[in-house]
A and B are shown apart, each in its own frame.
Chain A
Amino acid sequence: MASDVLVLVEHIDSELTDTSYELVGKAKDLAGGWNGEAVALALGSVDTSELAADRVLKMAHPSLDNYTPEAWLEALHAVVQERDPKLVLIANSTVGMDLGAGLSGRWGKPIAAYASAITGEDQDVVVTSQVFGGKLLAEAVIDGGQGVCTVIAGSFPGEAGKGGGATVEDLTPPAALGESRTSFVTTIEPEGGDVDITESPLLVSIGRGIESEDNIELAQEFADAIGAAVSASRPITDAGWLPKTRQVGKSGMKVKPKAYLTFGISGAPEHLEGMRDSDLIVACNIDENAPIFDIAHFGTTTDLFDLLPALTEKVK
Chain B
Amino acid sequence: MADMIVLLRQVPDLVEELELNDDSTDVEREFMKFVLSEWDDYALEEALLVKEASQGSVTVVALDDPDVDQVLYTALAKGADKAVKLTGSEEGWIDSHQRARTIASWMRNQTYDLVLTGVQSVEDIDGQVGMLLAQELQHPHVSVVVSVETKNGSARVTQEFGGGRFSELDVQLPAVLGIQQSRQAPRYAPISRVRQAQQAGGLEEVPTEVSGGSGLTVRRLYAPESTDHAEMLEGSADEVADKIIELLRSRGLIK
Contact = CB atoms under 8 A, between A and B. Distances in A.
Interface in A155-210: 180-191, 201-202
A254 B163 contact: yes
Interface residues of A, number: 95
B178 interface: yes
B158 interface: yes
B125 A114 contact: yes
Please tell me the size bucket of the interface on B.
Answer: 35 or more
Interface in B180-219: 180-181, 185, 214-219
A68 B248 CA distance: 46
B161 A93 contact: yes
Interface string B217-255: 111111110101111111011101111110110010110
A141 B143 CA distance: 26
B164 interface: yes
A136 B27 contact: yes
Contacts of A298: 230-233, 243-244, 247
A112 B237 CA distance: 42
Contacts of A32: none
Interface string B63-75: 0000000000000
Interface stretch (B49-57, B82-90, B106-114, B131-139): B131-139
Given A70-B140, A105-B136, A132-B27, A188 B169 contact: no
A185 B155 CA distance: 12
A310 B241 contact: yes
A139 B220 CA distance: 5
A94 B159 contact: yes
Nearest to A112: B216
Contact of B253 (A68, A185, A187, A258): A258
Contacts of A102: 131-132, 134-135, 141
11 contacts: A12-B165, A97-B131, A104-B132, A110-B216, A111-B214, A112-B126, A138-B221, A140-B125, A182-B142, A184-B168, A294-B224
A134 interface: yes
A252 interface: yes
Contact of A289 (B132, B136, B223): B223
B237 to A, nearest CB: 4
Contacts of B236: 302
A101 B230 contact: no
A283 B240 contact: no
Nearest to B218: A140
A180 B142 CA distance: 13
Contact of B141 (A98, A281, A282): A98
A70 B129 CA distance: 17
Contacts of B241: 307, 310-311, 313-314
Given A94-B144, A143-B217, A185-B156, A314 B242 contact: yes
B122 A109 contact: no
A182 B134 CA distance: 13
Contacts of A143: 215-217
Contacts of B96: 101
Contact of A282 (B14, B129, B140, B247): B247
Contacts of A133: 14, 122
Given A135-B14, A299-B232, A93 B162 contact: yes
Given A134-B224, A141-B216, A250-B162, A300 B240 contact: yes
Interface stretch (A23-31, A39-47, A237-245): A237-245
A49 interface: no
A259 interface: yes
Nearest to A127: B216
A315 B126 contact: no
Given A110-B214, A132-B122, A187-B167, 18 more contacts: A12-B165, A94-B162, A97-B120, A98-B143, A101-B131, A101-B135, A112-B126, A136-B223, A137-B221, A189-B165, A202-B248, A250-B162, A251-B144, A254-B163, A280-B247, A298-B233, A300-B234, A314-B242
